[in-house]
Amino acid sequence: MADEKPDKESKTEEASEKKIRDSLDKGQTPFSKETPILFSLLAILFVATFFMPARIAGMAQQLATMMDQSFEYHLSGSGDIYWLIQRVMLVAGTVTLPLFAAVVVAGFSGSAAQNTPRFVGERIKPQLSRISLIAGWGRIFSTKGFVEFLKSVAKLIFASILVALVLHDLVPRMLQGMNSEVGSFLVVIREMLMKMFAAIIFAMVLVATADFFWSRFQWREDLKMTRQEVKDELKQSMGDPIIKARIRSVAYDRARKRMMKAVPTASLVIANPTHLSIALRYDPTRDPAPIVVAKGQDLIALRIRAIAEENGVPVFENVPLARAMYRQVSIDQIIPQEFFKAVAELISILRRRAQRS
């Protein structure tokens, strides 16, 4: 049936520039979900390495001061407890707020790095399919949903194996650190956490890179067109050939009618004798040289000659001149210079006839 969607096997042609533009205008862009996550992890690592130590030390100092001055706090009611919680949250916020801001900015940067940000009203337009349980169930259990599930499982397994390889000596070092001082033990924990975080980021770099190229490949595959779609788009861009032919036919008919109306104003007609006809007008008061007002061949040539004879326009049968002139002259244009002498002789003949009469 005509309204059936084409299957993927029939989509063998690469997407045209127009279809790609239409897809981008609708907000249908290739997007890797792993890239923003990678950017966020890198932002966390950067902030944790260069900014967090000093802020954590400051937070620890403030909390220690609060603990030392705890005897000054009188928690006699819920209002005092609420005030204390607010103060602790404010101290903790000075540490977590930069980290949260870095994650947000990195997430937006990861999205903007893949595609130029643009406002697409189609994406925020309410659609029942987005809240439909049937449509949602179909998306979850579709082939694409199954592929996303496999990607998530593979990502988890790969990251787990990589972290396990990096932290293979975690248990011995933790047991060893428990017998050391608190400061040294915290250093050990920090080193292990940084190793684990670096391993996760390394795994995400590989996963995000693969997903970035896969998303673009899949996007191109989804945009592929059938041969019929290519033909239909070409027809739309260039216009329906039948309609274009009809427009050309109408334009040609109108131009021919205008040309026939101009034949009675001609000064002479050069014919061959039935195949070609060229009607020329020469009025010394307004024309710098003879001008072609009509030309045609076969039936049109006969029609030009008939109209000229009906209106008393002289007709000269000159086969070589008619053939040579027909190929080079254009309607409403002055004749080329190489024909000036031949046409001037014909005009002289007309003048002598006029003088004799």
- The 10s digit of each residue's pLDDT in 4-14 is 555 566 777 77
pLDDT value of residue 67 = 67
Collapsing DSSP to helix, strand or coil, 294 comes out as strand
> What whole-number distance in Å separates Cα of residue 162 and Cα of residue 203?
7
Percent of the chain having pLDDT more than 90? Answer: 0
Q: Identify which of 61, 127, 69 has the alpha carbon closest to the alpha carbon of residue 94.
A: 61
Q: Is the separation of the CB atoms in 281 and 265 below 8 Å? A: yes
pLDDT surpasses 50 at 120: yes
- 322 vs 160, more confident: 322
Q: Which residues contact 167 (CB under 8 A, 6 or more apart)?
A: 192, 195, 196, 199
Per the prediction, the chain carries an average pLDDT of: 76
pLDDT at residue 3 above 50? no
Q: What is the pLDDT of residues 166-194, one digit of tens each?
A: 667 666 766 666 666 655 666 667 777 77
| Burial (0-12, 13-18, 19+ Cβ within 10 Å), 295 | buried
pTM for the full predicted model: 0.47
> Quick one: DSSP state of residue 276?
E
pLDDT computed for residue 135 by the predictor: 63
Helices (H), 113-181: 121-124, 128-131, 133-140, 143-166, 170-178
Alpha carbon distance, N-terminus to C-terminus of the chain: 79
CATH class of 258-356: alpha beta
- Whole-angstrom Cα distance, residue 269 to residue 257? 17
Residue 208 confidence class, pLDDT cut points 50, 70, 90? confident
Domain boundaries, the chain: 8-116+127-234, 258-356
d(CA 115, CA 112): 5
Which residue did the predictor score with more confidence, 142 or 330? 330
- Residue 254 banded pLDDT, cuts 50, 70, 90: confident
Query: Which band of pLDDT confidence, cut at 50, 70 and 90, is reported for residue 2?
Result: very low
**Mean pLDDT over residues 115-136, rounded?**
63
- Would you mind telling me the total number of residues written for the chain in this entry? 357
Q: Is residue 129 pLDDT above 70, yes or no?
A: no
What pLDDT score does 31 carry?
A: 80
Instruction: Name the residue with higher pLDDT: 294 or 129.
Output: 294
- Per the listing, tokens 């190793």 go with 195
